[in-house]
Amino acid sequence: MLRFYIALWAAKLFYFINKLIGRARDDRPGLLAFKICPDFLARIGKPKLMITITGTNGKTTTSALINSYLKEQGLRVSFNDWGANLHAGYCLNLMRCVNIFNKVTKMDASVLEADEKTLAHTMGMIKPHYVLVTNISKDSLRRNGHPEYIFDCVEKCFEKLGADTTAILNANDPISSELARNTGAKRVFYGMDDIGSNPFENMVKDIAVCPRCGGELKYNYRQYRHIGDYYCADCDFKTKDAKFYATKVDLKARTMDILEDGETTTYPLISETIFNAFNVLSAAAALRTMGYEKASLAEFFERQKVTEIRETCVKYKGKEFHTYGAKSQNVSAASTVFEYMAKEKSDKIVVLCMDEVQDKNHPTETLTWLYETDFEFLNSPNIKQIVVAGHMYLNHRLRLMLAGVDPNKIAACEDESKVADLVDFSQDFEKLYVLFEIDYVTKGRNWRDAIVEKAKEVM
């Protein structure tokens, strides 16, 4: 117990100093607490409401929506809005909820965005009331391995939590919908009807056979990648019945009708993308499961937009200059964004800011993700130019050429300071997208801003 209080007091002092110097968005106080007291998460006081949001993709946006809504309802919420979703982030999140005597006096709720790989060890100590899983799909080979491995990590979490938690699961995901089947946890599903998205075929399949019998997995329809209405040809495995079911999704009008217990409610969407429609659906399912009112949620979503960590836009002379999170080394996220670039009908220039942060100073680099990601989607007539810069520029250029992209459409160099000079402003384009690795939020914006300044000189 003494070790715990030393950890708590040291972390609080570190956090106080960080706030004084303007570094409150820093999870190192939590890392200090964890190093001093490895079972800090078990001993720390817990607020009356705790929800964990995890999954391969979508957890940051979904967490931000849930956090914002709870705050609007008057709750004091501890949330790491910069995505500190590992042990240190959890320690910091919960440390902010208690006073120096470990009494929960400062916060009413904790929203924990959680990396899937950490769940088995941490959530058994934290014991959240709700665990929302957005999806499980192929991620970075180096960080998270394959979907089967991540499924096992998350399943161990539910085995430890048992009946003490409610699992909120994606009925359209044949992988994550199998979670918590035999753990005693209450399972609540959300799902979506066919919206005619007609997704492209991916090179790499997140799931190829039935997880129960190994039979052939078939689809009545898909929304994107492996998400859709599925069934096994050889056993009774099929899409789960969803308590929260989107019966009509109009991406252009940004509205979604959700059927719940026989009654339909229309909710606004935060963007025109299918994956963000799922983020709104999952957030609505979680908040409704907590008991919040439909009308209040609908009014809330009307005022929301995609978090600026993921997407921003600047306009100049009728053209739009975007930053857009794409996740390097994450096969499913990058491929989904590339598909959106092809399907979004405007003529555009795409700038790739997707070098992996951890690779830059390594003598070897992880290249396999480039050849499992669907760069072929970028070979589209509405993409007028593709700009690549950074230490991996030759690898990206080669992959684009192997994907069939005309070499004359590719501008590439190693020097990142020359990105704006590579953009061909003579092209007839409506939008420019800087697709950035999520650890490169600031760099992505800097690239975009430099391009806008260049546009002001030449246009």
Query: For residue 186, what pLDDT is reported?
Result: 97
Whole-angstrom distance, CA of residue 288 vs CA of residue 388: 43
Query: For residue 84, what pLDDT is reported?
Result: 85
Task: Please give the C-alpha separations between residue 318 and each of 119, 289, 428, 458, in angstroms, as whole numbers.
Answer: 46, 43, 12, 15
Phi then psi for residue 335, to 5 deg, are -65, -40
Q: What are the beta bridge partners of residue 314?
A: 321
429 CA to centre of own chain: 29
Q: Percentage of the chain with pLDDT > 70?
A: 98
Query: For residue 38, what pLDDT is reported?
Result: 95
The full set of domains in the chain, from first to last, is 2-198+236-302 (3.40.1190.10), 311-458 (3.90.190.20)
Q: What is the pTM of this model?
A: 0.92
Query: For residue 364, what pLDDT is reported?
Result: 57
* Strand pairing report for 166-170 and 227-232: unpaired
User: What DSSP string runs through 6-28?
Assistant: HHHHHHHHHHHHHHHTT--S--H
Residue spans of the chain under pLDDT 50: none
Query: For residue 450, what pLDDT is reported?
Result: 96
HSE-up (13 A, CA, CB side) for residue 140: 18
Q: What are the beta bridge partners of residue 79?
A: 111
> Rounded to the nearest 10 degrees, what angle do helices 294-302 and 274-289 cross at?
150
The 10s digit of each residue's pLDDT in 336-360 is 999 999 999 999 999 999 887 655 5
Q: What are the beta bridge partners of residue 182?
A: none
188: helix, strand or coil:
strand
Whole-angstrom distance, CA of residue 41 vs CA of residue 12: 15
Beta-carbon contacts of residue 269 (< 8 Å; ≥ 6 apart): 249, 251, 254, 255, 256, 276, 277, 280, 301
The 10s digit of each residue's pLDDT in 80-120 is 988 888 999 999 999 999 999 999 999 999 999 999 999 98
User: What DSSP string runs through 303-329?
Assistant: T----TTTEEEEEETTEEEEEEE--TT
Query: For residue 361, what pLDDT is reported?
Result: 57
The 10s digit of each residue's pLDDT in 34-56 is 999 999 999 999 999 999 999 99
Whole-angstrom distance, CA of residue 97 vs CA of residue 48: 10
